[in-house]
Structure 1
Amino acid sequence: MKTGKLSEAQFEIIREAQPAPIDPSETAAGSTVVGLLSSLDRNMLDEVMIEHRFGPGEIVVYEGQYGDIAYLIWSGRVAVVQGDFSRPASVNYRGPGEVVGEMSLIDNKPRSASIVALDDVRLLGIHRNDFFDLLQIDPNFSTNMMEILSRRLRAAEEMSRVNTAIGRELSAELQELQSENEALRQMEQRRQELSELVVHDLRNPLGNLFSALNMLELVLPPDVLDENRELLDIARLSHLRMQDLVDSLLDIAQFEAGRPMGERQPTNIATLMMEVAQLNAFALDKREMTLTENFPEDLPLVLADPNQIRRVITNLVDNAIKYSPKGGPLVVTAVRQGNMVEVSVIDEGPGVAIAERDHIFDRFAQVETGGIRPRGFGLGLSYCKLAVEAHSGRIWVETGPNGVGSCFVFTLPIVV
């Protein structure tokens, strides 16, 4: 007879679904089947019942194997496994006093399941011919044994019926979920199309605003311009921020759709930082903040779309200004780390709680930090994450130096 043993991994899979363990020393004494057998002549039983012992993980019989022997479990426990041992379709358990492989007593077809010892088990086996001999010797034994086997078969039939009904219900639920998923997909597609249409329509008034600001600077007398320079700077900065928001909305939709974005080229991070500092000069001045840039002269170029990465740095600097205390320092550094350049934006604000550090990069996420209510639409950091990851980089936030403030870090690949 073909024998074998499960690997440790296979045996663990089979054991995982096991109900509360039983004492392997428990025996079949007092069970219905044993009660029937005890009514027969002991010498006869010794002749037809063959004792088998198996250790944990040993395979008693294989699914698909032909056999004409059934087993009474005298002590220990076995698993009845259908399908591959590494990914079984079903696992059932039998304990002392139960019979396994009983269909072998009725037909001569391949076994429908494998039997695996879960403990040190003691089995009493009986072959088909010997079983039928026992049935002919004692009519009462024959009737009672057939009733036991009949109940087992009916229970199996009922379980099959229940499983079929459950299968139909699950199939109907799956179809319903698929329909709902398709409806949600169509709604998301329409929402995205509407969003893109709205954003595109915002470009025209923004362009008109930009033209109007330029025209005012051309036609207003110098003394009037000087008196209203701060208002014009606020209007110009607001226009730039609105333009950045519109571009971010469009780019986020493109990133999420997996479409290629921009043109990557050798890019100098220090040059981008200089442009960002100029754009944020007014905001820094209003907050009385100082911006320190730490960029080594030998910092390698990165392979990136300059416009996208400029916007990433702008968003991070803008966030740092927004959440930093008035007059606080703001530091931007860049260093080479292997084949990547690592850029850090460091502030002395209230910081970001550990539980929020992943969530803060989600689309439309707004996290209250240090009692400061968030402003805006929560798109800036979401854009940063999508843009950096589209460049094969990574972005995260950690606590600032000496446990103060926040340090937003992102990486970009260097030009090779």
Structure 2
Amino acid sequence: LPLRTGRTAIGVVGLDNDKQGPLLTPEQQRLLDALADQAAVAIERIQLVADVDRAKLAAETDRLRSALLTSISHDLKTPLAAIMGAAGTLRDFSAALPEPDRAELLSTVLDESERLNRFIANLLDMAKIESGAMEPNYAFHYVGDIVGSALQRARKIIGEHKIETDIPKDLPMLKVDPVLFEQALFNLLDNAAKYAPASSTIRMQGWTDNGSVLLQIMDEGPGIPPGDLERIFDTFYRVRKGDQIRAGTGLGLSICRGFVEAMGGTIMAANRTDGSGAVFTIKMPRPANPPNFDASNTDDHDVGDVA
């Protein structure tokens, strides 16, 4: 009995009868024909859904490949051009250059090398996340320690921005991978400094709520367009401003989400309600049995002053 749709035959149903006489009565034949037609339609729909899913996956793969090539071509070419230009000038004219000019060129080489290193590290981190090879090395840490380390690393990126912190010293310790958690905070600070005007304020605050520890980073930039909120953490996705796409790799926030979720937390993006700017909130589970350290000795886990 063929399984046919309006387009083609997609299968066959075989019947067997070990008794003598007709295999089916006319009424049974009509019923079986109707069931076969319905089964054929259902199978065809399943195949069509699978075809659509494969097409979407292929399109997304092409998009990511194109975005990766674009990102690599820009984010490798720009720092390499600066490094080669500064190094070439030092090689050809070092003896004739005043000391301040030589120092500035050397600083350019170092800064652009660090930028290149961050980009490559982001690519490697994203590869680990996408392959499922991310394995956090958990340990108990004070939130203030990790926040302070992230702020120190981000000093050059923060530049002229003012930093305000409100991280209570009595926040419970978190069981996290300190390297991954610090990198997530660093990427959020980098994002805030990139989008917020110079000399504006970036605020970090932390609190507890219903068994969770929350960390929030707020900036005074233009905020996130409503249409971008759902995709802000997608790999290689960058916010548009008018017809222009913002500079950057589109990896930083995606890595944030990958790291935070790998440690059992969540991250959310929103716009400020008290003015212009974006808000990113990390929510981590509060450990059930943290180590019994002396919480009154807070000198060793102070956030510090990085403004």
| TM superposition score normalised by structure 1 | 0.48
Deviation, structure 1 residue 176: 8.3
User: Could you give the per-residue CA deviations for residues 118-161 of structure 1, whole angstroms, max 9, x where no partner exists?
Assistant: xxxxxxxxxxxxxxxxxxxxxxxxxxxxxxxx7x7775455245
Cα distance in 2 for partners of 1:333, 1:258 equals 31
Cα distance in 2 for partners of 1:354, 1:228 equals 46
Cα distance in 2 for partners of 1:370, 1:168 equals 45
Deviation, structure 1 residue 348: 0.8
Task: Check whether the contact 1:303–1:412 (CA below 8 A) recurs between aligned residues.
Answer: no
User: Could you give the per-residue CA deviations for residues 212-237 of structure 1, whole angstroms, max 9, x where no partner exists?
Assistant: x9xx9xxx99x966544444444333
SS in 2 for 1:303: strand
Deviation, structure 1 residue 165: 5.0
SS in 2 for 1:313: helix
Corresponding residue to 2:225 among 353, 367, 370 = 353
Question: Which residue number in structure 2 is paired with residue 257 of structure 1?
Answer: 131
Question: Which residue number in structure 2 is paired with residue 404 of structure 1?
Answer: 276
Deviation, structure 1 residue 369: 4.5
Question: Which residue number in structure 1 is paired with residue 6 of structure 2?
Answer: none
Distance change >3 Å, CA 163–CA 402, structure 1 → 2: closer
Cα distance in 2 for partners of 1:341, 1:321 equals 24
Question: Which residue number in structure 2 is paired with residue 162 of structure 1?
Answer: 37
Q: Work out which structure has the larger RCO, using CA pairs closer than 8 Å and 6 or more positions apart in sequence.
A: 2
Task: Check whether the contact 2:141–2:173 (CA below 8 A) recurs between aligned residues.
Answer: yes
Question: Which residue number in structure 2 is paired with residue 383 of structure 1?
Answer: 255
Cα distance in 1 for partners of 2:150, 2:105 equals 21
Task: Check whether the contact 2:136–2:262 (CA below 8 A) recurs between aligned residues.
Answer: no
Question: Which residue number in structure 2 is paired with residue 319 of structure 1?
Answer: 191
* Number of residue-to-residue matches in the alignment: 240
Cα distance in 1 for partners of 2:167, 2:236 equals 32
Task: Check whether the contact 1:323–1:372 (CA below 8 A) recurs between aligned residues.
Answer: no
Counting only pairs closer than 5 Å after superposition, residues 16-415 of structure 1 correspond to structure 2 as: 156=31, 158-160=33-35, 162-163=37-38, 166=41, 173=47, 177=51, 226-285=100-159, 288-369=160-241, 373-415=245-287
SS in 1 for 2:204: strand
Distance change >3 Å, CA 260–CA 323, structure 1 → 2: closer
Structure 1: gaps of 5 or more residues: 1-149
User: Could you give the per-residue CA deviations for residues 52-94 of structure 1, whole angstroms, max 9, x where no partner exists?
Assistant: xxxxxxxxxxxxxxxxxxxxxxxxxxxxxxxxxxxxxxxxxxx
User: Please, what is the CA RMSD of the aligned residues?
Assistant: 4.1
Cα distance in 1 for partners of 2:209, 2:107 equals 38
| TM superposition score normalised by structure 2 | 0.63
Paired amino acid for 2:119? L
Cα distance in 2 for partners of 1:411, 1:337 equals 9
Cα distance in 1 for partners of 2:234, 2:251 equals 8
Task: Check whether the contact 1:350–1:405 (CA below 8 A) recurs between aligned residues.
Answer: yes
Structure 2: gaps of 5 or more residues: 1-25, 291-307
**% identical aligned pairs:** 26
Task: Check whether the contact 2:136–2:263 (CA below 8 A) recurs between aligned residues.
Answer: no
Distance change >3 Å, CA 235–CA 372, structure 1 → 2: farther
Cα distance in 2 for partners of 1:274, 1:225 equals 34
The structure that has the greater radius of gyration is 1
Deviation, structure 1 residue 393: 0.7
Question: Which residue number in structure 2 is paired with residue 130 of structure 1?
Answer: none
Cα distance in 2 for partners of 1:275, 1:307 equals 10
Paired amino acid for 1:389? E
Distance change >3 Å, CA 338–CA 155, structure 1 → 2: closer
Cα distance in 2 for partners of 1:255, 1:339 equals 27
Deviation, structure 1 residue 367: 1.7
Q: Say which is worse superposed, 359-368 or 225-234, in terms of deviation.
A: 225-234
SS in 2 for 1:361: coil
